[in-house]
């Protein structure tokens, strides 16, 4: 307010318009800054969630792969299957299956990894030697992986795209004794195509 001849007078219309304009400009600037902070916080939260999901996936795979045991199984069709088999999908026998309830079952478990409905899924069976009604439990792990490929390091130091290695021969796998003698690879190299992190290569050493 201004004092004129000892009397108080109010703001002029021009002064009010200028004050409102300044107030509006400050409000817009404050809102833009707040919106930027909120957007950044949301992006950071999404990135943290994606990273946590990826870390969980890695730990699940690591726990399974590093406990592989050389125990073949019998499939639901009565065929002998090696302890580890894989080309497009991966399936193997692992140990260390916890049994907190003390149920009458083995500590070994048959597990596998494959794609189902555009998601990477972990399969697990309640029994090793399966019957035709032995259906696997399916655990979707992530939908952010668009492809998975596996390579196997043989005892001779050569990488194979499938296992058992091609030089074993399919005829030998019809012999249960030959199946039981199929060695495990020395290591697995798992390559994932992640929607956000790109190509990921994980190398796991197998127990010998």
pTM for the model: 0.72
4: its two tokens: 């004129």
**Strand 137-142, strand 119-125: pairing:** antiparallel
What is residue 68's DSSP assignment?
A: B
Q: What angle do CA 133, 174, 89 make, to 5 degrees?
A: 60
Residue ranges in the chain whose pLDDT is less than 50:
169-173, 176-177
Domain architecture of the chain: domains with CATH: 60-205 (3.10.610.10)
Task: Supply the pLDDT for residue 177.
Answer: 47
Average model confidence (pLDDT) across the chain:
83
């Amino acid at each position: 307010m201004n004092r004129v001849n000892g009397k108080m007078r109010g703001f002029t219309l021009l002064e009010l318009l200028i004050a409102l304009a300044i107030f509006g400009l400050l409000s817009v600037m404050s809102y833009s800054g707040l919106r930027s902070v909120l957007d950044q916080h949301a992006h950071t939260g999404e990135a943290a969630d994606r990273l946590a999901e990826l870390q969980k996936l890695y730990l699940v795979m690591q726990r399974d792969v590093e406990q592989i045991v050389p125990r073949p199984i019998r499939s639901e069709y009565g065929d002998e299957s090696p302890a580890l088999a894989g080309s497009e999908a991966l399936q193997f026998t692992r140990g260390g299956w916890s049994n907190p309830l003390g149920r009458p079952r083995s500590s070994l478990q048959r597990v596998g990894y494959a794609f189902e409905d555009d998601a990477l899924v972990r399969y697990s069976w309640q029994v090793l030697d399966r019957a035709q009604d032995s259906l696997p439990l399916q655990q979707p792990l992530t939908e952010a992986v668009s492809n998975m490929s596996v390579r196997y390091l043989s005892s001779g130091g050569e990488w194979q795209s499938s296992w058992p290695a091609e030089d074993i021969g399919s005829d030998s796998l019809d012999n249960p004794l030959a199946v039981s003698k199929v060695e495990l690879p020395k290591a697995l190299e798992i390559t994932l195509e992640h929607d956000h992190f790109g190509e990921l290569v994980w190398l796991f050493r197998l127990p010998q």
